[in-house]
């Protein structure tokens, strides 16, 4: 009889399953950087202010995908891109087709691009990218399915010859099935591969997977289109939550939903009057609190039956997302946070009866807390005692490599000094064949310069470093050039000329913060200089080596001690697009 009663209670969801099954979260074990969560405005007209406010404000979407119309009917998407940028959101544009006259059928959205129009197509994309003010551009939508079709070899050849001249970082190939058999030859090509900044694709007919070749080449991997039918169906929402969670667990850096047209009553996330559907709230459980520049950290992914957990370092604070897809029975889930600083977390939940609802605070004791996860729910736990992210929109911060203690970055606005950036960093060093450090950066294509006054570097070690860097990728072993200030070894210029290669340095002893440093890229030549006043400069070193045109430019700090944090402050920072000109 007791067994029968228990079975009935479980069936109606009145008892908890898997009580206190432990989920370990390792805040110092970095996985991929998160670039954001978003949606497409393709064929959705000009989005209303109410819809934009709900998407970018309430739900926290941080990426927009616009359609580059083949007939140059761009006004709606230009307006959508401008509204997104005004909200601090990044925008990428995808061309489904070039002008019809350039295809083998003489029609847009059909046939193949004729080779004699390859250069024209590149010029047209460049014009579109400028008109829409795109942050990335994609030359093809599902080229392996139809629309304007490309074979992998055709797209590889075009990207290799014309990709660098578009004037924006490139996202490719947006395969319909995210087929690596289609995309890998492009990445492996010595001309085309360096021109692809982001490896993107769609998951139609194919589930989330690790795209190892792209990761090995230092590319960020984005899922750029998918949907499930059912705007307010909790069963559909559980599929969405699981799909995003699986994608994050497979090292993806971005997840982009399909369109938000009011005409599609199965897929739309937000109505024009700002009404948010349940599927929108489900994506918001990730988008609202996992901000661009966050880093996914290692967590026990399946700690209990039907429960998936991913965890993130968001500017030094923990964010945990737990998806319980069980249709009956809640789960009492214990979470143990290792190498973190959380003392309290606030919970937010979407379920059949809740929509990103605040469910209260969870105290952390000895790194541990326990929460009840109802059946068919997505719950996000957000650390409340950490430093809130406050970087300007153009900057992103994260730890690179295997750091012993998670770092943080803060920004204090100051007109006189272009703001003050403070980095706290552990890490063994920026040196040898791989690095472990804190990095605050922006992306840039082509020639550039970054200047900063290193106001202070905490003396954790004589070799602690604070300086400026240009880096090919965010991989721990990426090629890079760096010039910085140390507490005991003076000013140092160093570089790694290839992925996984050794490092070479030159230093001038006897100098310490505050001191100015400057790093200039001209083609593939990187030159480091230093100055006591920011006016009179002395060149310390120069190196020439091949680096992808799109690179990461920013401020870097390492403690040269992986068990301690080192604070480094920077002011008078000048970089591409920074400081933002006053209105």
Cα angle: 562, vertex 568, 570; to 5 degrees: 150
Instruction: From 8, 13, 20, select the one nearest 326 (Cα to Cα).
Output: 13
Instruction: From 50, 48, 96, select the one nearest 73 (Cα to Cα).
Output: 96
Token pair in block for residue 497: 């000329």
Alpha-carbon radius of gyration of the chain: 24
- Taking residue 358's Cβ as centre, other Cβ atoms within 10 Å add up to 11
Burial of 388 (0-12, 13-18, 19+ CB in 10 A): exposed
Is residue 31 within 8 A of residue 221, CB to CB? The reply is no
Distance between CA atoms of residues 46 and 91, nearest Å: 15
Token pair in block for residue 499: 């992925």
Beta strands 254-259 and 36-40 are parallel
Instruction: From 165, 206, 166, 167, select the one nearest 183 (Cα to Cα).
Output: 206
Instruction: From 203, 206, 139, select the one nearest 173 (Cα to Cα).
Output: 139
Task: Tell me which residues are annotated as active site.
Answer: 142, 225
Is residue 59 within 8 A of residue 287, CB to CB? The reply is yes
Residue 444: CA count within 13 A, CB half-sphere: 23
Phi and psi for 453 in degrees, rounded to 5? -95, 115
């Amino acid at each position: 009889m007791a067994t029968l009663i228990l079975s009935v209670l479980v069936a109606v969801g009145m008892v908890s399953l898997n009580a206190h099954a432990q989920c370990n979260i390792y805040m110092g074990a970095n996985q991929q950087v998160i670039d954001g969560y978003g949606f497409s405005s393709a064929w959705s007209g000009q989005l209303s202010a109410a819809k934009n406010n709900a998407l970018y404000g309430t739900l926290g979407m941080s990426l927009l995908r616009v359609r580059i119309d083949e007939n140059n009917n761009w006004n709606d998407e230009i307006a959508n891109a401008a509204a997104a940028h005004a909200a601090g959101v990044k925008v990428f544009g995808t061309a489904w087709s070039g002008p019809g006259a350039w295809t083998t059928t003489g029609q847009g959205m059909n046939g193949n691009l004729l080779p004699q129009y390859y250069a024209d197509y590149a010029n047209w994309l460049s014009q579109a990218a400028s008109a829409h003010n795109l942050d990335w551009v994609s030359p093809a939508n599902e080229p392996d399915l139809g629309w304007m079709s490309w074979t992998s070899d055709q797209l590889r050849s075009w990207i290799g010859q014309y990709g660098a001249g578009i004037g924006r970082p490139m996202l490719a190939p947006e395969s319909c099935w995210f087929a690596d058999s289609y995309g890998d030859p492009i990445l492996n090509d010595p001309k085309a591969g360096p021109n692809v900044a982001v490896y993107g694709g769609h998951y139609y007919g194919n589930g989330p997977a690790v795209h190892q070749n792209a990761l090995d080449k230092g590319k960020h991997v984005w899922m750029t289109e998918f949907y499930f039918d059912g705007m307010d169906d909790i069963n559909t929402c559980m599929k969405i939550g699981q799909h995003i969670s699986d994608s994050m667990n497979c090292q993806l850096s971005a997840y982009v939903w399909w369109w938000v047209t009011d005409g599609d009553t199965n897929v739309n996330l937000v109505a024009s009057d700002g009404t948010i559907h349940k599927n929108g709230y489900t994506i918001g459980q990730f988008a609202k609190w996992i901000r661009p520049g966050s880093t996914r950290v290692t967590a026990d992914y399946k700690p209990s039956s039907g429960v998936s957990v991913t965890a993130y370092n968001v500017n030094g604070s923990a964010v945990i997302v737990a998806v319980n897809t069980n249709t009956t029975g809640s789960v009492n889930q214990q979470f143990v946070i290792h190498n973190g600083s959380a003392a309290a977390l606030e919970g937010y939940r979407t379920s059949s009866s809740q929509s990103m609802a605040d469910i209260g605070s969870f105290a952390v004791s000895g790194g541990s807390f326990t929460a009840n996860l109802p059946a068919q729910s997505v719950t996000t736990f957000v650390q409340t005692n950490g430093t809130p992210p406050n970087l300007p929109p153009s900057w992103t911060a994260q730890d690179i490599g295997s750091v012993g203690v998670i770092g943080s970055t803060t920004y204090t606005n100051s007109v006189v000094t272009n703001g003050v950036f403070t980095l706290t960093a552990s890490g063994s060093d920026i040196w040898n064949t791989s690095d472990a450090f804190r990095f605050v950066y922006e992306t840039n294509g082509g020639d550039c310069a970054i200047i900063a006054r290193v106001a202070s570097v905490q003396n954790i070690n004589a070799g602690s470093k604070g300086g400026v860097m240009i880096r090919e990728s965010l991989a721990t072993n990426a090629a890079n050039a760096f010039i910085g200030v140390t507490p005991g070894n003076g000013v140092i210029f160093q570089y790694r000329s290839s992925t996984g290669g050794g490092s070479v340095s030159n230093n001038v002893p006897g100098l310490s913060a505050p001191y100015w440093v400057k790093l200039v890229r001209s083609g593939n030549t990187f030159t480091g200089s230093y100055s006591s006043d920011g006016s009179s400069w002395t060149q310390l070193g120069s190196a020439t080596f091949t680096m992808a045109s799109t690179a990461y430019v920013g401020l870097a700090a390492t403690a040269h001690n992986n068990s301690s944090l080192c604070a480094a402050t920077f002011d008078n920072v000048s970089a591409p697009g920074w400081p933002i000109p006053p209105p």
